[in-house]
Chains A and B, each alone.
Chain A
Amino acid sequence: MKIKKGFAIKLIDVSKKYILHHEKPTLVENIFRFRRKEEIWALKDINLEIKKGEKIGIIGDNGSGKTTLLKIITGITSPTKGELGVNGRVAALIDLEAGFHPELTGEENIYLNGMLLGMSKEEIKQKFTDIVKFSGLEKFIDTPFHTYSSGMRLRLGFSVAAHSNPNILLMDDEAIFLGDRKFQNKIQDKIKDFYKLGKTVIIVSHWLEYLEKNSEKVILMKDGEIKKIGIPKSTISYYKNTRFSKKIQYY
């Protein structure tokens, strides 16, 4: 499928079905058909076009399909139905601690992790000093990864992913609230850099005030569907109102 220039991401009638497993799946079960099959549609006929350089926020309750949408865009999982077009390299700042080998040093891990994120060895070599500097782990870079604290691990994970030269950047609350004040400022500076360079940034968050300030368009997800899409202020106030009125109904 050819995507016209100017579009970063395009989804046409994308649906995603999950089969709910109550136990670990096994072959024996499958042969004798013990398994109860329960299906869940995590996404239902999503149509979405995101232009290059747009700043997008995604909001919605837990289980509304936000994460599934991110996973489809990054190619971690494929849609059950529909078509997906992505223009450019995607970096997802999710599961930052994954993809490191505990026995290897920070340096060796930067190469391993960078290549898992789609960088070539040459690219990592060029950006190596920047990655180390950004993470603030200069002193520990030749010590084994298992000696790192969880904060250090996340910082290194963020730093590698953020330097992978993406055209499209996806992130969630884990990345925004990462580290201390100082590191959070660094992250915000980095996001601003991405904005300046005209990259597409998609942020999934429950922090509504942040999205209201920092995005151009907010998408509200509900039960696997896009409920509303538009300027941040109206989408967020719509979300707040509907959430609120529902609560009133309960009482």
Chain B
Amino acid sequence: MKGLKKYFLKSCELTLEMTKSEIKARYKNAFLGFLWAFLNPLIQMAVISFIFQHLIKTPIPDYFPFLFIGLLVWNFFSYSLTKTTPSIVYARDLIHKSSFPREAIPLSIIFSNFFNLLIAFFLFLIFLLISQKFYLFSNLISFPFLISSFLWIILLISGLSLLCSALNVKYRDINFFIQALIIIWFYATPVIYSLNILPDEYLKIFIFNPVVYPLEMIRFSLLGTNLPSIAIFYGNLLITLTLIISGFLIFKKENKKFSDWL
């Protein structure tokens, strides 16, 4: 029991240090530095919102902030997943060198991406304040909602990343599978469209997409849009928990064999 606690602390310390290194390395040579975290989704938003507001007329009110939140969360999710899946294979040299807590490799990628998300998020809050579309402090319930939705998305991507990065060591085509999946997944997630505009019979599909509920929770807490049905909540929660538990167990099991397969 004592050994487990020691291991956990060591793993946390290492993950934190690797996260810091990742963040430092990313912005070291970039001229605009941290601003890129905000500029990236902004450019993406400009293009997409031009298409949906001028070429295809969207019925969604306040499309800019709606889209921006969707892109922030989706970019964090997809970028983390595509980067963590091959991360253990890429860290081959390290794995042959020393026996450190290996989960620090994918987790540090996730946390450094989350740091990016937070920067862009705070800049976005300032934007919301200025444009007076701010809903957050007018509704007290939205604050815990916001924090728990971030927590949900972090736990979801952690579970999924542990699962994919561990399996990718043994089956290298998992990486290609994820790259294909992430494109389909984008359209299966209400990033550029809203669940409100879909016919009811399609809504059942979203039960199986665990990104939907946390994303809609963030929109609810900031913009006051309505939440998806309770069925989607339970479905998403169940899949998230399954991914976390299976990710943790499979990583723990495969972890010992990493150096044999690399």
Give me the interface of A with B, judged by CB distance under 8 Å.
Answer: 18-19, 24-28, 30, 71, 74-78, 92, 94-95, 97-99, 101, 103-104, 108, 111-112, 115-118, 120-121, 144
Contacts and interface: CB of A to CB of B under 8 A. Distances in A.
A117 B10 CA distance: 11
B93 A99 contact: yes
Contacts of B94: 98-99, 116
Given A115-B14, A118-B98, A26 B93 contact: no
A208 B244 CA distance: 52
Contacts of A116: 14, 94, 97-98, 100
A26 B177 CA distance: 11
Contact of B18 (A25, A30, A112): A112
A77 B259 contact: yes
Interface of B: 10, 13-14, 17-18, 21, 24-25, 28-29, 93-100, 167, 170-174, 177, 256-257, 259-261
Contacts of A120: 10, 13
Contact of A99 (B10, B98, B167): B98
Main secondary structure, interface of A, reads loop
Contacts of A25: 170-172, 261
Given A27-B167, A99-B97, 4 more contacts: A75-B99, A76-B96, A77-B260, A116-B100
Contacts of A28: 173
Contacts of A75: 99
A77 B94 CA distance: 13
A18 B257 CA distance: 10
Given A95-B96, A98-B97, A76 B259 contact: yes
30 contacts: A18-B260, A25-B170, A25-B171, A26-B172, A27-B177, A28-B173, A30-B171, A74-B98, A75-B99, A77-B256, A77-B260, A78-B256, A92-B97, A95-B93, A95-B97, A98-B93, A98-B94, A99-B97, A101-B25, A104-B21, A104-B24, A111-B17, A115-B17, A116-B94, A116-B97, A116-B98, A118-B10, A118-B100, A121-B13, A121-B17
Given A28-B173, A101-B25, A103-B29, A76 B13 contact: no
A126 B85 CA distance: 36
A185 to B, nearest CB: 25
A142 B196 CA distance: 55
A56 to B, nearest CB: 20
